[in-house]
Amino acid sequence: MKKWSGSFRIWHWANAIVVMGLIGTVLLRKGFLSYKENAQIILDKLSAMNVTITLDQAKDIARAIRAPMWEWHILLGYALAFLVVYRIVLFFTQSGRKSFQFKELDLHHKLVSGGYVVIYATLFFMALSGLVIHFYQDLGLLKDTAESIKDLHEDIYQVVLYFVPLHIIGVIAADMGDQKGITSDMINGGKN
């Protein structure tokens, strides 16, 4: 069993909360708070009350309804950027270096560790691209460039979306298999 430092465990659970919050805001934006679907609902309801507005006006209203929720996405994005930098710092601690001892691992655990490297790189990209999208004007970028980065940001998001359930399933399987107590170790620190 691994011994997880308190700083690593705090990072892990803070990161889990932030990533789940970010996923939640995306799912809300694409689902219940989709401006296209809500614009049509607004048009239909106002039409039933004999109030006429254009589709563009309805879209503006729908976007205004979801704007406060999207502010949470931006705040959580700042938190993710901080946590990515914090994880890079943790890598250079004794606990962080122990996490990546590839030579000592069997093939299965090498693949698992490689998966974590991929998710760390993905989170780094997501944080960086999110900041670039948010501050594109301050960075002197064109709106078209920001839109291209946004498209890539949304495509790469799929890695995070698939990783979360796979991670949870993998931890449960490991806890039931040869790594009993792995979940409680990430909560209370584990044993040497």
**pLDDT 10s digits, 53-64:** 999 999 999 999
Q: What are the tens digits of pLDDT across the range 33-83?
A: 899 999 999 999 999 999 999 999 999 999 999 999 999 999 999 999 999
Span 97-140, pLDDT tens digits: 665 666 777 888 788 888 888 999 999 999 999 999 999 999 99
C-alpha to C-alpha distance for 110 and 98, rounded to whole angstroms:
13
What is the token pair recorded at 104?
Answer: 């000592």
Domain limits of the chain? 6-188
Distance, in Å, from the CA atom of 100 to the CA atom of 105, rounded to the nearest integer, reads 9
- Global confidence as pTM: 0.85
Looking at residue 187, what is its pLDDT? 83
> What's the pLDDT score for residue 99?
59
Reply yes or no on whether the pLDDT at 19 is more than 70. yes
The crossing angle, in degrees rounded to 10, of helices 35-48 and 55-91 is 150
pLDDT exceeds 90 at position 5:
no
